Chains A and B, each alone.
Chain A
Amino acid sequence: MSAMLLNKEKWPDFVGKLTGKQLWAPQIKDEQLRFAPVAEGEEPALDYKNTRVPPKNVVFPQTETLFRFQVDGEEVDEPKLDEEVVLLGVRPCDARSMVIVDKLFSWDYDDPYYARRRELVTMVGLACSEPGLNCFCPSVGGGPASTEGLDLLMVDLGENYLLEAITEKGEALINETKELLEETRDANLEQKEKVINEAAQKIKRSIDPEGIPVGLPGLWEDSLWQRVSASCLGCGTCTFLCPTCHCFDIQDETEGFESRRCRTWDSCMFEEYTLHTSGHNPRPSRLERTRNRINHKYNYYVDKFDVIACVGCGRCINLCPVNIDIVEILKQVKEAL
């Protein structure tokens, strides 16, 4: 796989080359940084820590129409999924989250919608040089320049971006834009190592997950769950903003005679999530729901897929309205072991 240099002056041309495909990148819209399709002439915002909403929406839309039908009709109309998407400037944690979620969507049943969107996406990552305050990716197997899930990794070297192809898709992208790129020199690779090492040094928060997955079942009735869930409001912020949270609901929605079956993100923090038809709710309070959120990420997922379903992006910590802090919870779990 090749590595090339892109001078930042040629950045607009590079972006211009990609707009033939649907290009998604972080942009500031309504004073908010988010992944959104880039229209011609628009510039992605790359100088950022992390978007509030992760780019999981691209492969797992918050609302996805599975098919449309007419009430009393016989025909079913399935939307075609054939548009290639380039996700530009994705952070290594968000790219890694997709590799983790892949395991679920290809487990006992291959989810065709998710699989197709994953096939169609090319992931161009941007290594972090200024990690956020609540980033803890190295603790859970990632890193500021992790390449897992990426097709191409960009590293900011000041005047240039270093572009490293990780997969065939990434290699193809380098070939498509070759006229804009320059050969790398040894000094560039050394500089890359320096940038990455410095970034890793800037990550302040950490948790050693050793012992947590096997220890959690023994803490089922521990008083820590009462403590950490007491202030929970039961909203969906932590789960909706989590790049690895993947729960969904499927509903038929009808307007007049037009119907569609759609799937939408769901959240285990909602009361309705586990409510049975009988009225019984096996997770009747926020205590059980909080315990489930931690167990799902740090116990069940590890048990089933041998990986922690948390990439340490810090979003749930940043945006919890009441400062429920997953690193603090994990520390309490470790103390209780």
Chain B
Amino acid sequence: MDLEKLRETAAEVVAREDVKYLIGWKNGSYGYRVAPAFIEDAEGAAELIFSPLCISNLSTYLTLVEKLPLPRGQEPDTRKIALMVKGCDSRAVTQLLVEKGIERDGVVVIGCPCPGMIDYDLLAEKYPETEGLSEVKWTDDGFLVIRDGEETNVTRDELLAEKCRLCRYPNPLISDIMLGEPVETWEPAEDKGVEEVDKKDVNGRWAYWEEQFSNCIRCYSCRNVCPLCYCQDCILDRLNPTWVNRAVNFSENTAFNIARAFHLAGRCIECGECERVCPANIPLGRLNRKMAREVRDKYGFEPGLDPEAEPFQASYKPDDPEDFIL
């Protein structure tokens, strides 16, 4: 993507009277880090980037914004929020529209066709992070890593993030402004992660998840980063009644993780943020992709594709399969 074009467009968008700010990506504080940027003027727009390191899904900020009570007489700020999205991120925006979590008039969606993102852990393992800012660019067949002035060409296969290997929608499905030409889609890889768990028997699966959930420290970063976990009153925070105890043990951790997986069934758009941010390395993507696969195979439904769709969990068809009912 042409960065000049991106920054120019962003500057135009934030100059609009009906736009409050723009959420995009900027260089982080060191190494390969990229940070969310909240841009209000042309100066800020000049910091924006779009690179193979922009893996995070910024659409979570649309619902994360705090609506505090206003002082008497003060009108709420109803200006739009502009947001940069990749293909996967755009599905979150669409799903939020389906659920009426946001209003179409409230957002300016800036689409960024995405050739695929880098897995940070793989990158840092092979090419250790240094204290200076590094840059990564797309090349015809992979990535160019520029670290401390040293350039290394890396194949796409070596560093591509798992969610991008599995991706079927690299181009934004909804946008007001599209930056650049659509990228060519690729054959999604087989989901080896889900298959690895799937081929275990029921006891094996239970043992697998028991081990994983036992590592959970209940920091709730998966919930908070998730663009579709936006309940104002989350079951996990409730104290009266306490649906999920504060104790951190296998039982409560499982209650939490399974509750989240169920609440996301037919809603998760597979952006992989939960797994990326988990400090306990729990392969949450496997859980959520398994649910997504079930919904797709059984009900032919995929969330985040059509803003006019009925929400999956709130819709019923007489011929819905019900073979799971004992």
Q: Fill in one digit per residue for A129-153: 1 if any B CB lies within 8 Å of its CB, else 0.
A: 0000110000000000000000000
Q: Are the C-beta atoms of A32 and B60 separated by less than 8 Å? A: no
Contacts of B212 in A (CB 8 A): 30
Of the listed stretches B34-42, B170-178, B291-299, chain A binds B34-42
Contacts of A251 in B (CB 8 A): 242, 245-247
Q: Are A235 and B33 in contact (CB under 8 A)?
A: no
- Inter-chain contact B221/A323, CB cutoff 8 Å: no
B29 touches A323 (CB 8 A): yes
* B276 engages A32 (CB within 8 Å): no
Q: B61: which A residues are within 8 A, CB to CB?
A: 231
Residues 259-305 of A at the B interface (beta carbon under 8 Å): 262, 264-265, 267, 270-272, 284-286
Pick from A16-24, A78-86, A236-244 the stretch touching chain B. Answer: A236-244
Of the candidates B35, B130, B225, B281, the one whose C-beta lies within 8 Å of that of A32 is: B281
Please classify how large the interface on chain B is, using the bins under 10, 10 to 19, 20 to 34, 35 or more: 35 or more
* Residues on the B chain within 8 Å of A230, using CB: 36, 38
Known contacts A30-B281, A322-B35, A323-B28; decide if A286 and B130 are in contact (CB<8 Å): no
A113, B61: Cα distance in complex, Å: 40
- Docked Cα-Cα span, A324 to B279, in Å, equals 15
Q: Does A117 contact B (CB under 8 A)?
A: no
Query: By the criterion CB–CB under 8 Å, are A240 and B66 in contact?
Result: no
Q: Is the CB of A284 within 8 A of B249?
A: no
A168 contacts across to B, CB distance below 8 A:
none
The reply to whether B276 and A321 form a contact with Cβ atoms under 8 Å apart is yes
Chain A at the B interface: SS class: loop
Do B28 and A237 touch across chains, with their CB atoms under 8 A apart? no
Q: Is the CB of B221 within 8 A of A321?
A: yes
Shortest Cβ distance from residue B297 to the other chain A in the assembled complex, whole angstroms: 29
Contact B68 A233 (CB under 8 A): no
Check A284–B66 contact: CB distance below 8 A: yes
Contact: A233 with B225, CB < 8 Å? yes
Proximity bits, A302-337, B CB within 8 Å = 1, else 0: 000000000000000101011111011000000000
A264–B66 alpha-carbon span in the complex (Å): 27
Residues of A bordering B, CB below 8 Å: 30-32, 52-53, 62-63, 133-134, 204-205, 230-231, 233-237, 240-241, 249, 251, 253, 262, 264-265, 267, 270-272, 284-286, 317, 319, 321-325, 327-328
